[in-house]
Amino acid sequence: MSDLAAHYSRFRVADRLLLTGHSHQAWPDVALEGQIEAFDDAASTVDEKWSRAFAKADKLRDWYRVLLDDPAGDIALGANTHELVVRFLSALDLRSRPRLVTTDGEFHTLRRQLARLAEERIEVVQVPALPADTLAERLAAEVNSSTAAVLVSSVLFETSRIVPDLGGLAFTCAGHGVELLVDAYHALGVVPMSLPDFGLTDVWVVGGGYKYLQLGEGNCFLRLPAHAQRLRPVVTGWFAEFDALADEKDPTRVTYGPGGTRFAGSTYDPTSHYRAAAVIDFFAEQGLTAPVLRDISLRQTTLLATAFDDLLLPASVATRDRSPRKLFGGFLAIRTPRAAEYQKALAERGVLTDSRGDHLRFGPAPYLRDDQLRAAMAAFGEVSA
């Protein structure tokens, strides 16, 4: 992929050490063409733009189906995962089953919202996220007849550890009539995810393209299991009945559209979907399929891990999980009590990373060269000396 950087000239990836690829990857130049197309369609067709915008949205849904190996899956789109998770939560029968099971390693979208629900007397059980190898089993042990849902990531956002055996957890949840929501945000684009192969055809999946997929903001999704058609989200937008607006309404009962429209919101800015459609085409042209992206990610994170080991830093300064790299997602997490301090020092040297608690995160991307990755880790050696 040595020439890939040429397609990201506006982000200047060839000249910058952008090691925040797990948070916000650069956009290829064609993304701007998508945004301009959105403006031109609005200018030329005004309110008739929506048929063109919906075609872009359908293209985005189709791509998520490919990434999930779920060709017939129902997909609801949203500007962010929070709005989609809130609609999901609003569809649960929390009066009869006032218990939610999750982990202490979830991203802030779940952490904050579930903590607020706990203040309103919803029982929220937090299972320690580590060790990841036994997390699914420990979550399953907390499932009972009072549980409405289990909410867990497929890749942990602080450590990059992949959570194995979610299929076993899904089997347990199904046996108790409990919903399982899997946050796949840190998987798509770096860890191939086949719902049939993983035993996850009957679960909810939430994620988006802001991180590894280079789609930018406003391109999140909620994948619905088949039984979702029985649920009626309390938080609902008028797009959930968009195709039936002219139909006669039952004044005593709110109706919902089919498939993913059941969990739709309301009027949105379609520019993000135009940008996404352009990037999707670019990925196809460059051969950036899920297996290829995984190969690139593993090679790059292995290079970073090796370069870190070569620094020979004392464990009291910084260390890392030395499990095989195939057990991790798309970034290298270095554990250090001075993570935030080192992040700032690296930024002053032109190396952009980020930190979460005591984890300093180095996130590569396909357009970065090997010498850029080595230079970034060498800079860490200098600031930590």
**Given 279, 300, 331, which residue is the final one in a domain?**
279
Regarding whether 92 and 135 lie in a shared domain, the answer is yes
Report if residue 284 sits inside a domain: no
Quick one: pLDDT band at residue 1, thresholds 50, 70, 90? low
**45 and 24 in a common domain:** no
Prediction pTM value: 0.96
Task: Mark whether 273 and 308 lie in a shared domain.
Answer: no
Cβ pair 232, 263 in contact under 8 A? no
More confident residue, 129 or 251: 129
DSSP labels for 316-334?
TT-EE--S-GGGB-SSEEE
Same domain, 247 and 313: no
Percent of the chain, pLDDT > 90? 95
357 occurs within a structural domain: yes
pLDDT digits (tens, 9 = 90+) for 190-241: 999 999 999 999 999 999 999 999 999 999 999 999 999 999 999 999 999 8
- Helix (H) or strand (E) run with residue 182 in it: strand 179-183
My answer on whether 24 and 41 are in the same domain is: no
3-state class (DSSP) for residue 18: strand
pLDDT in tens, 280-311: 999 999 999 999 999 999 999 999 999 999 99
In a domain, 122, yes or no: yes
Q: Answer yes or no: do 245 and 375 share one domain.
A: no
Domain closes at, from 250, 279, 308: 279
What range defines the domain where residue 58 resides? 31-279
Q: Are residues 20 and 85 in the same domain?
A: no
β-partners of residue 76 are 222
- From the list 99, 166, 100, the residue with the least C-alpha distance to 132 is 166
CATH of the domain at 21: 3.90.1150.10
Same domain for 174 and 321, yes or no, is no
Last residue of a domain, one of 279, 312, 337: 279
Same domain, 324 and 218: no
45 and 158 assigned to the same domain: yes
Encode pLDDT of 113-125 as tens digits.
999 999 999 999 9
- Domains in the chain: how many in total? 2
Residue 243: the pLDDT is 72
Same domain, 19 and 113: no
The count of C-alpha atoms lying within 13 angstroms of the C-alpha of 380, restricted to the half-sphere facing its C-beta, is 34
DSSP string, 32-56: HHHHHHHHHHHHHHGGGGHHHHHHH
Query: Both 176 and 273 in a single domain?
Result: yes
